[in-house]
């Protein structure tokens, strides 16, 4: 399981996913090869030997980057695991790319900093419940299913 972050050309005036029109179709965010190079500017050790499925490993965390195989990229996803430090890496990449992303745990736009760390921790708590990791006591967390369904409908709508 991973904390999933979805990156697209979201409307700049949208304050939340509810503000995204139902008929919204994301535009190109650039060439896939350029996006990969820009990610590597932030994390030089990123491995894109498979351009459609990059990996970024850090001390106690990892990110898989699932990106369009087409040269004209309309979006990609980060699949995140590990410790809190990874949240800063995601924030730095998004800032460098000047792109916005949706956090699958909160169901809204990712806000770098304490909000994103709190969201990642909530996801980890939920994951621990699902996979039965009782190494750390955590309060029960309910998945935000209705928000996630709404988010996924908007993200996959391309025409």
The predicted-structure confidence for 102-143, as pLDDT tens digits, reads as follows 998 888 999 888 999 998 999 888 888 888 755 554 444 444
Per-residue pLDDT tens digits for 45-104:
999 999 999 999 999 999 999 998 889 999 999 999 999 999 999 999 999 999 999 998
Per-residue pLDDT tens digits for 97-108:
999 999 988 889
44, β-bridge pairs: none
Q: Mean pLDDT, to the nearest integer, of 8-25? A: 91
Q: Taking the model in full, what pTM does it have?
A: 0.81
Topology given in CATH for the domain delimited by 3-156: TATA-Binding Protein (3.30.310)
Strands 61-67 and 72-73: unpaired
Report percent pLDDT > 90 for the chain.
59
Boundaries of every domain in the chain = 3-156
């Amino acid at each position: 399981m991973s904390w999933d972050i979805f990156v697209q050309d979201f409307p700049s005036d949208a304050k939340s996913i509810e503000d995204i029109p139902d008929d919204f179709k994301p535009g190109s965010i650039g060439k896939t090869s350029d996006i990969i190079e820009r990610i590597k500017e932030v994390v030089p050790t990123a491995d894109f030997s498979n351009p459609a499925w990059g990996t970024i490993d850090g001390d106690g965390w990892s990110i898989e980057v699932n990106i369009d195989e087409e040269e004209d990229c309309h979006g990609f996803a980060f699949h995140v695991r590990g410790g809190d430090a990874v949240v800063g890496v995601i924030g730095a990449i998004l800032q460098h790319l000047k792109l916005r992303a949706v956090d699958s745990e909160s169901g809204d736009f990712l806000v770098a900093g304490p909000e994103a760390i709190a969201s990642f921790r909530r996801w980890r708590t939920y994951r621990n419940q699902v996979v039965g990791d009782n190494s750390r006591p955590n309060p029960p967390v309910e998945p935000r299913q209705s928000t996630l369904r709404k988010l996924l409908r908007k993200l996959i709508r391309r025409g």
